[in-house]
Amino acid sequence: MKFGYCETCLRHDTGPRHPESPDRLRAIRQALADRHGVEYVAPEPVDIERVLAVHEENYVDGLELFCRRGGGNWDADTVASEKSWDAALASAGLAEWAAESALEGNDGRDTPFALGRPPGHHAVPDRAMGFCFFNNAAVAARSVIDRGLAERVAIFDWDVHHGNGTQDICYDQGDVFYVSIHEEGLYPATGRITETGEGEGERTTMNIPFPPGTTQTAYVAALVEVIGPALVAFDPDLILISAGFDAHEHDPISRMRVSTEGYGLFTKRVCDIAEQSDAALAFILEGGYGLDTLSSSVALVHEVFDGYQPASDDGEVSSKARDVLDRVKEQGFDGDPSRQG
């Protein structure tokens, strides 16, 4: 894969005990060091006008001033330092690069993966939250649409937390389809099945809130049964993966049961969906807070594009997870293009 990476992202200092630390990127780089075919690209920071396309100007100006004055606790979870402003611009720039690179035809072993921090999917239009300042995936999607590089973009968020910010930004937009698989009840306790979009964005939001303890078997079933058909019907030019790795069975802040091999299975499935949709594909780093599990999972995603075939999953979907999938289907996500977007 081609990994977007910028040293500026290491300068976002969250303190010695914060789970979203620079060590996350260092661990990923270390895990990729002995992998074949790894290439790094250092894109420019995002233009502020791209940020203002999804975030309110008063918030953006206030965040810049907050950081320039030295930062501090924005809220109970979200910490900024003096260099966090520059890191946030760099992280959004990496996401924009990944989207552009995919649309330029970089696929297969050249598929782009933006290794940026701070992450983005909790950032709402008017404030930071959940470790996130700018909504990187939403910035990237809106950038390529506004510049005529794509007409329709899908964002698939497999982070264990619901991407409330991405949903809020895209909820009434018919040209962006947002899908989230997340642990029900976990921070920020949003993302209900019945939230499917409004106005021009009706039925372009899909939420799959699985119960704690759900295994990768249910995730794969969701990809095959509901996500794949819905995205193929939406017919996107680009699929962006908000790639958080905190649903891992050994991640310290979640209760899901996805293995490292499971992330390989997810990657293979999204590649199949992109091929069926004739869509470009790019990855944007979100969460993942166990350094070993995060780094090994990112490395396995890379290895899938280098030819690795993940082991098939022979487990069973739990009755609770099956009930969630049945309820999602009841919302009208049946693969009929006339009912979506």
Distance CA 191, CA 102 (A): 28
Residue 122 bears catalytic tag: yes
Report the distance separating Cα 52 and Cα 225, nearest Å.
36
Burial label for 37, CB within 10 Å (0-12, 13-18, 19+), is middle
- The one catalytic residue in 122, 161, 162, 302 is 122
Q: Which residues are catalytic, by number?
A: 122
